[in-house]
Amino acid sequence: TPQPPAPVKVAIEAAGSKLLVLGIDGADPLAELQGDIQGIIGGLAGKE
């Protein structure tokens, strides 16, 4: 999964936010969607 440029990461962190990069280019879209949903839930719960 491609990552955003370093300055974008720094700006997001400086703002006190959390970066979550979603996978959209994999061979198994359903598995990626499941992983993305788990990442979102974990991020919202403060576990990521």
DSSP per-residue codes, 1-48 = -----HHHHHHHHHTT----PPP-SSS-HHHHHHHHHHHHHHHHTT--
Question: Does 1 fall in a domain?
Answer: no
The reported pTM is 0.59
Closest C-alpha to 19, from 33, 31, 8: 8
User: Structural domain of residue 27, as residue ranges?
Assistant: 6-44
What is the tens place of the pLDDT at every residue in 24-36? 787 888 988 998 8
| Per-residue model confidence as pLDDT tens digits over 5-17 | 999 999 999 999 8
Looking at the structure of the chain, the number of domains it has is: 1
Q: Is residue 22 part of a domain?
A: yes
